[in-house]
Chains A and B, each alone.
Chain A
């Protein structure tokens, strides 16, 4: 049994990978050779299948094209196709909420930021709902959005929160533009820009002025009985929740509270409170709707000045430059003051 092309049929699932791995480690010479060949073939098979899928998915639609899948409560993507762009609503609320949220985000970027989808080339928007069992998260995996149903104890379903959908799709925008590295200060900026643009999707949809918006990220996401109102507050970082099971919202509002940690890629979801608050301060001071002045300034900086390793000081410089370029010196002064209030100097 030393024939190089013999296979244990793993590509068709006859022998599961853990048995193949066991054989590769512990089998006799012949069994090891076949097991290793089969594992390599399996990986190659998976790679080809992925490549075919990627090639199909990477064709930009050029227009708004949403495709919704049902992951069926397992952690395998994308799942079963349940709604395309021209299909009527389904009986599944999560599917319809996700569909509407993707649409609102697409429309926000097109109308308010003059951007055509995530890649600015009309990338199609794919999403899967009902991912995993009681999965309490939502994420963008570089190709599509993924929504869990929540555990029902701490979190409700993630499709009901428009700013969360805006936040996740903005991670795709960030990836296309500054590609901020997802750790430490550049990672906290990555999170903050996702919050800044995500919250604007909601405010834009609801036609809320900066002065009247809640500035809460993940509003309504916490389950009944949890002591809190959202995941984060851009208006008052550190006040979104204080619950025996969740703990207290750890976000700082200023550099005095900056958290040094190795967890969460260097506290990207914690220290994002600082640039989040700077945006809030600038938006409220500039008045009107966030997507009219403050939003375009931050978006312009993201697309034109920021780079992979930018830090908070770099973001302050970039947004001040954008403010000056787009609206003039008085607006630049407002942006400078907002960063100064959270303890960030442009250097």
Chain B
């Protein structure tokens, strides 16, 4: 499994990149990520999820996941994301910081 997440925007306008490799993840964390990706229906999402107009001070993301032959890269506005996708974002951030 390989995960790359880029975030831009927000009140601070900062760009942050998080990345995770299978070798650095334990089986438990990898399982959590896989479950969160499934809940978000990540591999079935369209390549872009946008709000009708950009929303001030919200985050924008590019999230790319490769897992067991499946691969998807999705660009999305925070305001257009489901709660499950936002949970996946939080999990990637948490795991990349540990």
Q: Which residues of A contact B (CB under 8 A)?
A: 16-18, 21-22, 25, 74-76, 132-134, 136-142, 155, 158, 164, 167-168, 171, 181-183, 187, 190-191, 194, 218, 231, 246-247, 263-265, 267-270
When the two chains form their complex, are residues A17 and B8 in contact, meaning their CB atoms are under 8 A apart?
no
When the two chains form their complex, are residues B44 and A171 in contact, meaning their CB atoms are under 8 A apart?
no
When the two chains form their complex, are residues A265 and B57 in contact, meaning their CB atoms are under 8 A apart?
no
- Which residue among A182, A190, A218 has the maximum number of chain B CB atoms within 10 Å of its CB? A182
- Which residue among B15, B44, B56 has the maximum number of chain A CB atoms within 10 Å of its CB? B56
When the two chains form their complex, are residues B54 and A139 in contact, meaning their CB atoms are under 8 A apart?
no
When the two chains form their complex, are residues B55 and A18 in contact, meaning their CB atoms are under 8 A apart?
no
14 A-B pairs within 8 Å (CB atoms) are namely A74-B83, A75-B86, A75-B87, A133-B90, A138-B57, A139-B10, A139-B57, A140-B56, A167-B11, A182-B53, A231-B11, A264-B13, A267-B13, A269-B11
When the two chains form their complex, are residues A76 and B83 in contact, meaning their CB atoms are under 8 A apart?
yes
Q: How far is the CB of B41 from chain A (nearest CB, A)?
A: 4
Residues of A within 8 A of B13 (CB): 231, 264, 267-270
Contact bitstring B34-73, A, C-beta under 8 A = 1, else 0: 0000111100100000000111111110000000000000
- Which residue among A74, A167, A264 has the maximum number of chain B CB atoms within 10 Å of its CB? A264
When the two chains form their complex, are residues B90 and A139 in contact, meaning their CB atoms are under 8 A apart?
no
When the two chains form their complex, are residues B54 and A22 in contact, meaning their CB atoms are under 8 A apart?
no
Q: How far is the CB of A217 from chain B (nearest CB, A)?
A: 9
When the two chains form their complex, are residues A141 and B79 in contact, meaning their CB atoms are under 8 A apart?
yes
Q: Which of A18, A74, A171, A263 contacts B41 (CB 8 A)?
A: A18
Q: Which of A22, A74, A269 contacts B12 (CB 8 A)?
A: A269
When the two chains form their complex, are residues A18 and B38 in contact, meaning their CB atoms are under 8 A apart?
yes
- B84 located at the interface, meaning its Cβ lies under 8 Å from any Cβ of chain A in the complex: yes
Residues of A within 8 A of B86 (CB): 75, 132
When the two chains form their complex, are residues A265 and B90 in contact, meaning their CB atoms are under 8 A apart?
no
Bound Cα distance A15, B92 (Å): 25
Q: How far is the CB of B96 from chain A (nearest CB, A)?
A: 12
Residues of B within 8 A of A269 (CB): 9, 11-13
